[in-house]
Amino acid sequence: MSAVTDAAPPPAFDVAIVGGGLVGASLAVGLAPGGRRVALIEAAPPPATAPSWDERCIALNHASQQIFAALGVWDALAPEAAPITSTHISEQGRFGVARFSAAEAGLDALGYNVPLRAIGQALWQRLQALGTTALYCPAQLQGLQRDDEGATLQLADGQRLRARLVIAADGAGSRVRELLGIGSARRDYEQSAIVSAVRTTRPHGGCAYERFTPEGPIALLPKTRDAHTCSLVWTTPAAAVAARLAASDAEFIAAAEACFGERLGRFVELGRRQAHPLARVLSDALQASRVLFVGNAAQSLHPVAAQGFNLGLRDVATVIEVLDAAGADPGVAAVLDDYAARRARDRERVAGFTDHLVRLFSNRVPGLRGLRHLGLLALDLAPPLKQAVMWQNLGFGGDTPRLARGG
């Protein structure tokens, strides 16, 4: 005789978001007012780091700023967002330079350099203030079973929940992808980005600089602390990472100055250094039955073009748009197909552009140096080409979601 159990059924949701990093938390905020029952499952406790002058920042483009405004978090971020009013792209040892300015685009800023900590905190505070999302945090997804009606999610602490649609926002090593047996294409760049902050003797003037060198690009972006403080992102070959991290501040500064040149004068103060190994990971699918992939779980990119999170935020805006138009069941095949079709072109374009940039500028073949030089000059001098690239970097190159257009 089988035992009779009277265990209560698991709580049921329309949407369960797995992963509350920047992308998952943005999506939860965007879905919170929509009237659907939404759960957010995040393994780490809500972000509680204190601000510091050398904390890691992320460059948001104009489309991302528009999306955050539509989600109601921009007002909280604005005081911590350093406007980028121009960009200056050059190659070590060459005169070719590509320059873009907000004035040419008819905007106040091309984008904003914002601490990751500030974005995370603003999103979680907004979620808690809206109060409609069931927060499972800290809680880790361990198992996933799907059927015709939805999916059952099993958490490591023994809890279970049901959802009609599961959205994987669980990062480049996505557990959801692994549980479903979905593969990914991985390209290891054998480089790390060493991230820090510097104070320079000349003011940044709101300009974001990127300088390509044979070893990889070095970028300096304005920070809000004062007119002389910048974020530093220095792409470093894997074999040189340990030595650069172990170097004294003075040695590190001397090497970074030699790479970057003198546009911002001397580097006079250096923050903490952190290394992030770089790889491109593209999920083999953007959807599976009852499941969608967003952010790094869908595609994780090299930071050379500062596009990874900006692209992920356009995934978020598209999910919101697609679910707004969906019927009672947000997990049916037509909704999933619509999302995947709308994201394909933007994703392919940005992932392709980013990868080409890494490989073009790290290639030491002599003839290519001349081509790169001509390419940067052409970019600076040819208005239609420049407009196209600028528009793409602002986040308007693909099928731009409504929220990114201020809608």
Ligand X SMILES: Cc1cc2nc3c(=O)[nH]c(=O)nc-3n(C[C@H](O)[C@H](O)[C@H](O)COP(=O)(O)OP(=O)(O)OC[C@H]3O[C@@H](n4cnc5c(N)ncnc54)[C@H](O)[C@@H]3O)c2cc1C
Sites of contact with ligand X (CB under 6 A): 18-24, 41-44, 58-59, 140-141, 169-171, 175, 193, 195, 233, 276, 295-296, 303, 306-310, 312
Q: In the bound complex, what is the minimum distance in angstroms from residue 406's beta carbon to ligand X?
A: 19
How long is the chain? Answer: 407
Q: In the bound complex, what is the minimum distance in angstroms from residue 135's beta carbon to ligand X?
A: 12
Q: In the bound complex, what is the minimum distance in angstroms from residue 297's beta carbon to ligand X?
A: 6
Q: In the bound complex, what is the minimum distance in angstroms from residue 278's beta carbon to ligand X?
A: 7
Q: In the bound complex, what is the minimum distance in angstroms from residue 192's beta carbon to ligand X?
A: 8
Of 55 and 170, CB closest to ligand X:
170
- Containing 316, the helix (H) or strand (E) segment is helix 308-325
Q: In the bound complex, what is the minimum distance in angstroms from residue 396's beta carbon to ligand X?
A: 15
Of 96 and 169, CB closest to ligand X:
169
Pairing of strands 218-222, 229-237: antiparallel
Of 25 and 96, CB closest to ligand X:
25
Q: Are 241 and 199 in contact (CB under 8 A)?
A: no
Q: In the bound complex, what is the minimum distance in angstroms from residue 4's beta carbon to ligand X?
A: 33
Map residue 332 onto helix, strand or coil. coil
In whole angstroms, give the CA distance from residue 202 to residue 263: 8
The two structure tokens encoding residue 196: 């820090």
- Containing 260, the helix (H) or strand (E) segment is helix 249-260
In whole angstroms, give the CA distance from residue 54 to residue 296: 24
* Residue 99: count of CB within 10 angstroms of its CB: 15
235 DSSP β-pair partners: 193
Q: Which residue has tokens 């907004």?
A: 126
Of 62 and 96, CB closest to ligand X:
62
CB-closest chain residue to ligand X: 21
Of 67 and 335, CB closest to ligand X:
67
Q: In the bound complex, what is the minimum distance in angstroms from residue 168's beta carbon to ligand X?
A: 9
Q: Are 86 and 101 in contact (CB under 8 A)?
A: yes
Of 96 and 219, CB closest to ligand X:
219
The separation between CA 94 and the C-alpha centre of its own chain, rounded to angstroms, equals: 30
Q: In the bound complex, what is the minimum distance in angstroms from residue 368's beta carbon to ligand X?
A: 25
Of 42 and 80, CB closest to ligand X:
42
Q: Are 168 and 182 in contact (CB under 8 A)?
A: no
Of 96 and 153, CB closest to ligand X:
153
Does a cis peptide bond (omega within 30 degrees of 0) precede residue 47? no
Q: Are 212 and 358 in contact (CB under 8 A)?
A: no
Exposure string over 108-125, b if 16+ CB within 10 A, otherwise e: ebbbbbbbbbbbbbbbbe
Q: In the bound complex, what is the minimum distance in angstroms from residue 170's beta carbon to ligand X?
A: 4
Exposure string over 273-291, b if 16+ CB within 10 A, otherwise e: bebeebebbbbebbbbebb
Of 54 and 170, CB closest to ligand X:
170
Q: Which residue has tokens 């356009």?
A: 314
DSSP assignment of 78-143? GGGPEEE-EEEEEETT---EEEEEHHHHTSS-SEEEEEHHHHHHHHHHHHHHH--SEEE-S--EEE
Of 154 and 329, CB closest to ligand X:
154
